[in-house]
Chain A
Amino acid sequence: MAKAEKKYELRLYIAGNTPKSSAALRNLKKYCEEHLKGLYSIEVIDLLINPKLAEGDQILAIPTLVKKVPEPVRKIIGDLSNEAKVLVGLDIRPVK
């Protein structure tokens, strides 16, 4: 894995500790460990605590994963259960 690769900044928006939220977080962590080890940071934002933050990232659905960096900004909504879709959405080439 090339060290020149950019670091992934990921934000996961959740609203309380719902099954969908925890599933999403679990799935995300799994994919990142598999494909982006050491290259990612995950920020979990609970909108129940910080409702103001929802507007900035145009959050509608919960859970929503926002990839801020690298560009382009992408959003993935849902519990991230479909690995292929998440990887495409995050623009990650899966490690073979």
Chain B
Amino acid sequence: MFTSDVHGMSKRLKKKAAPVRGRKLEKTLTGIDGLDQITGGGLPKGRPTLVCGGPGSGKTLLGIEFVVNGAVKYGEAGVIMAFEEKGDELSTNVASLGFNLDELQRSGMLKIDYVHVDKAEIEETGEYDLTGLFIRLGHAIDSTNAKRVVLDTIENLFSGLSNEGILRSEIRRLFQWLKDKGVTTVITGERGVTTLTRQGLEEYVSDCVILLEHRVQNQISTRLLRVVKYRGTFHGTNEYPFLIDADGISVLPITSLELNSDVSEDKVSSGIASLDKMLDDGSGFYRGSSILISGTAGTGKTSIAASFANATCQRKERCLFFAFEESPQQIIRNMRSIGMDLQACVDKGFLRFHSSRPTMHGLEMHLVEIHKMIVEFKPRVVVLDPITNLVTIGSVSEVKSMLIRLIDFLQKEQVTVLFSALTYNNSTTEQADEGVSSLVDAWITVRDLESNGERNRGLYIMKSRGMKHSNQVREFVITDEGLQLVDVYLGPDGILIGSAREAQQLEEVTGQELKTYAGTRRDREILRKKTILEAKIASLQEEFESVRDELTRAHQEEELRKEIMAKNRNELTRNRYLNKKQSQSPKSPKPNGKGRKKI
């Protein structure tokens, strides 16, 4: 029965919507934020529930809220039987919480019966029973048709009446009688030393027991609620912090163990265009993600946070800014100096500040408060600046557990959250950050880069889940117009920042000028050379032409000579032949002298 977990609880909650069938335990909603969640739908219907706790732990308030909520929210009349405070005292006490008991009494939805027990007035002799009380209660219930009853605090009977035996049996009978009447009852009881209640009332109430505590640790108080037992149903077993404020009690069961919240592809700008450009497609972080900005003192974490908030408001989305160090006025003034008008955002209702010292209350109470404000204001973006200060009121592991639950809750609500965290220069690792660095989706670090006798800010993205991101260390400057990342400047000796970068930039501009000048001079030189060479080429060409002419002439002459010579020879040969013919005519056929000789 007690091995329930929240997983089971939430499942049950979902089932609750379906019509209840069979012998499933019916429940009565308390209307108290969070308590209905922990108990999986409220208190056991028609049965008594014991609410115990020390003085000032909020027992009476819980009881009254149960009845008032019944009357106001669920249309169920109720009876408050007060053993401690008179009806009008009770009305006055809870009026500050916005409960108008007198009005409810007039409308017949509520009946307050003050039971006065004074030992001095009463003499006991012989046997008696508490039928008088039963009749009074019965009359109150019947006259209003009440479904809810609070007995606050029935243990007072023990101080007024001395016969404990009768009292115990009568109280047992009373609870049984209330069960038979089918009213859902809240019985409050003062916490005992070893028992849950001084008189051991838990013996008689076996269905549901809720324990309230008011714990003070390091001078910081935290109210805690725990469902000690709840017969026949699953319930949250943890100690849940709760808050009593102007709206009464709210319990905060942020312990979702499931990691199945919806994710968004949507992106939100960081408010610094150049930072967005370092991320994937330049449109910023995923909506609903958690972003951590860590850095040493004075590196501009708050400024980054403020520009994120500002960007949110410019998109006409709501942003809730929790400041743990500065007052809203201070932040608004400071951000005005870098060109951000947060006041306008506040005026338009897009931005809400909540400043509180971390030491104001315990860690859990902060969580409850943050939770409550988020539920109320419904922001799309939440900024916590800085979370480091929370360590003053809890250990690192406590802070981490709180932030886990906060991130969980915000993710479920699709709220983008930005934390800023202070890291110390001497920390050996970058992992300080209250241990949240592993939880967050994106982590940006701003740090001092010291060189050449000056301090500059360098910003880089340590991680950004699910998107490409730049690996560069970018110089980060805060100007009158807001925040900017300077383009990376790679000098001959690595990355240059600050004045070194500026000097290098100047030098480059000078160099450019000189280069341009030198360039033109060289061009002219080349041009000249070219002209000269061209002239040379022309003369050589001429020379070549004449040489070639010479050569051609020589060739032609040779040809001519050959031709002429050949012609001459032919001429010669023919002439000779003719001469021979003429001389041989009488003594034919003698072709030539040789032939003739041979013959």
Interface residues of A (CB under 8 A from B): 13, 15, 20, 23-24, 47-48, 51-52, 54-55, 58-64, 72-82, 85-86, 88-89
Contacts and interface: CB of A to CB of B under 8 A. Distances in A.
Contact of A60 (B126, B132, B138): B132
Contacts of B128: 20, 61-64, 77-79
Given A23-B126, A48-B135, A78-B125, 7 more contacts: A13-B132, A20-B129, A23-B127, A59-B132, A77-B125, A80-B126, A81-B127
B121 A51 contact: no
A61 B116 CA distance: 12
Interface residues of B, number: 23
Given A13-B132, A54-B136, A62-B129, A85 B121 contact: no
With a 10 A CB-CB cut-off, give which of B116, B123, B138 has the most chain A CB atoms. Answer: B123
Given A60-B117, A74-B121, A47 B126 contact: no
Contacts of A88: 123
Given A55-B113, A61-B161, A81 B125 contact: yes
B169 to A, nearest CB: 13
A47 B132 contact: yes
A81 B128 CA distance: 11
A66 B128 CA distance: 14
A77 B135 contact: no
Interface string B125-168: 11111111101101100000000000000000100010000000
13 contacts: A15-B135, A20-B128, A47-B131, A51-B135, A51-B138, A55-B136, A59-B132, A61-B131, A62-B129, A64-B128, A72-B121, A76-B122, A77-B124
Contact of A78 (B116, B127, B135): B127
A26 to B, nearest CB: 12
Interface of B: 113, 115-117, 121-133, 135-136, 138-139, 157, 161
A89 B122 CA distance: 8
Contacts of A63: 128
Contact of A62 (B115, B125, B131, B161): B131
B123 A62 contact: no
Contact of A51 (B139, B157, B161): B139
A76 B133 CA distance: 15
Nearest to B123: A89
Given A13-B132, A51-B138, A62-B132, A79 B126 contact: yes
Q: What are the 5 tightest A-B residue pairs by CB atom distance, in nearest-first order? A: A89-B123, A78-B126, A81-B126, A79-B126, A51-B139
A85 B117 CA distance: 19
A21 to B, nearest CB: 9
